Amino acid sequence: MVISMDLGHLENTFLPIESRIKTGSDVIFAWYGRYQQAKALGEPAINGTVGSLLEDDGTLAVNKVVMDTIRGQSDLNLSAYAPLAGLPQFKRLAAELAVGPRLASLNDIGLHSGAVATPGGTGALYLSARTMLAVGDSILFRSSRWSPYDTLASECGLTISEWPILSNIEEGHPKVALNVLEEELGKLAKSQERVLAWLNDPAHNPTGLSLDSAGRELILDAFIDCAISNPNVGVTLFLDTAYAVYADEPYGWSETIHQKFSWANWPENLLICWGFSASKSHTIYGMRCGAIVFLHPSEDYVNRLGEVCAVTGRGTWSLAPRLPQSTLVDIHNDELLASSWGDEKGRLKKLLSERRSLFNKKMAESEIPLMPSDDGYFAFIPCDDPVSLAEKAAESHLYVVPLKGGIRIGLCSIGFDNIVRATDILKESWVSVVG
């Protein structure tokens, strides 16, 4: 006998409201699944969904130096736990890879760095949200962003404040809505004890936008001014640099910080963090290797942050995997391996740049309002009805991701030979949906 059970009643019985409000699947993976289904049916499908770099033939692009080094790891590194905060050599390496060549100079002028290993860059984001704000606080995002930002904020009990990704004022920097940023920072500093902002730059996901030195300086000045004006408020700028190695200025933020600061003029209530991810730089997406990196004048405070984040990580994912940490250490401690890794990384960057150059050229021939598309994996078309636009493109076998305010096109996953067809489909779909 089949007994009918009311789902709503069961949810109320077993799940608190915080769990009952969770619905649906991740929009990116949902549209990737639709592409896979179309491909399996033999359709001439183009994959513009997934956030992984594919070769022009559609296979996953992997850095062979990394794969070979993984396979050569000892049984210990293959199977053993890592320390809670990560392998000591990996923590130092993560800071070097995130901050770049300027790290030594920043240390020399009295700024201390530290890191904690995390399961991917997402783990670094989570640690900052969980440890640097209180439940009920608001976190500051740009208006266009990777959709899991919102999920992470919700999981940490945070509300969201926003500032535009582009300025609508003719005067000033076109990529920095400075007046809104300063206003939002001021509101947060007056309403809560701590301020935390995530800034995905360079090679922003989902637009491909990158800031130049003038834009970075304007934003950094806004955070400095907020800290100085509110000396009892902790102000943290978290730089999500997951795609930085594929940008023309991968370490631009470090250059800007170095030009701006010495130990003597750094507000003690200002913290800068980096989110390091090996997913893109080392093509090991699923191995979940990343780190949160700290920069501050107080060595004691940097060490304390490491302790806090390690404890939080222990209570969330236990610890980050050892294998990818040891792999990266072996590569970057060997001059020949590091050089070979860099050569292959350069090839992959060139592959991306060629696709973007052709895509931007073809899109410029249309009247579609493409967002600034400078670096990295993605491009973005703003529109009021992104789902309809994505559905129309799918009718012609191009699969993209509808997000808040527009559609994301994964140039990372569209082969060079398919770029022109993809742009033609986008143009036709735009005319059909928007007019």
pLDDT at 262: 67
pLDDT at 371: 95
Beta strands 398-399 and 270-277, pairing class: unpaired
Q: Residues 6 or more apart from 313 whose CB is under 8 A from it? A: 84, 85, 116, 118, 123, 127, 319, 320
Whether the predicted pLDDT of 2 surpasses 60 = no
Diameter over CA atoms, the chain: 77
**Among candidate residues 198, 193, 269, the one with its CA nearest the CA of residue 227:** 269
What are the start-end ranges of the H helices in 315-367? 322-332, 335-364
List phi, psi (to 5°) of 160. -120, 130
CA-to-CA separations, 35 to 45, 47, 62, 204, in angstroms, rounded: 7, 6, 21, 23
Q: Which tens digits make up the pLDDT trace of 318-351?
A: 999 999 999 999 999 999 999 999 999 999 999 9
Whether the predicted pLDDT of 264 surpasses 70 = no
What pairs with residue 433 in β-bridges?
Answer: none
292: left (phi over 0), alpha (psi -120 to 50) or beta: beta
Whether the predicted pLDDT of 53 surpasses 60 = yes
Name residue 238's amino acid: F
Whether the predicted pLDDT of 20 surpasses 90 = no
Whether the predicted pLDDT of 259 surpasses 80 = yes
Whether the predicted pLDDT of 208 surpasses 80 = yes
Q: Residues 6 or more apart from 39 whose CB is under 8 A from it? A: 45, 47
Edge to edge, the sheet with strand 234-240 lists 112-118, 290-296, 270-277, 234-240, 194-200, 138-142, 159-163
Whether the predicted pLDDT of 292 surpasses 90 = yes
Go through the chain and tell me how many residues it has. 435
pLDDT at 1: 54
What pairs with residue 293 in β-bridges?
Answer: 115, 274
Whether the predicted pLDDT of 18 surpasses 90 = no
> What's the mean pLDDT in 1-25?
75
Residue 130: other Cβ atoms inside 10 A = 20
Task: Give the C-alpha separation, 113 to 276, whole Å.
Answer: 13
For the chain, list the domains and their CATH numbers. 24-63+350-433 (3.90.1150.10), 82-333 (3.40.640.10)
- Contact assessment for residue 393 and residue 426, using Cβ atoms and an 8 Å cutoff: yes
More confident residue, 378 or 27: 378
Segment holding 197, helix H or strand E: strand 194-200
Of 14-23, 54-63, 280-289, 397-406, least confident by mean pLDDT is: 14-23
Task: Give the C-alpha separation, 123 to 317, whole Å.
Answer: 9
pLDDT at 399: 98
**Among candidate residues 331, 319, 308, 320, the one with its CA nearest the CA of residue 277:** 320
Q: Which tens digits make up the pLDDT trace of 123-160?
A: 999 999 999 999 999 999 999 999 899 999 999 999 99
- Contact assessment for residue 146 and residue 205, using Cβ atoms and an 8 Å cutoff: yes
> What's the mean pLDDT in 283-310?
97
pLDDT at 23: 73
Whether the predicted pLDDT of 71 surpasses 90 = yes
> Where does residue 198 rank: exposed (0-12), middle (13-18), buried (19+ CB within 10 A)?
buried
CA-to-CA separations, 417 to 8, 37, 199, 359, 361, in angstroms, rounded: 49, 22, 33, 11, 14
Whether the predicted pLDDT of 240 surpasses 90 = yes
Name residue 403's amino acid: L
Q: Report which DSSP code applies to 56.
A: T
Whether the predicted pLDDT of 252 surpasses 60 = yes
> What's the mean pLDDT in 353-359?
97
Name residue 196's amino acid: L
Structure-block tokens of residue 41: 């049916």
Average pLDDT of the chain, as a whole number: 95
Q: Which tens digits make up the pLDDT trace of 89-107?
A: 999 999 999 999 999 999 9
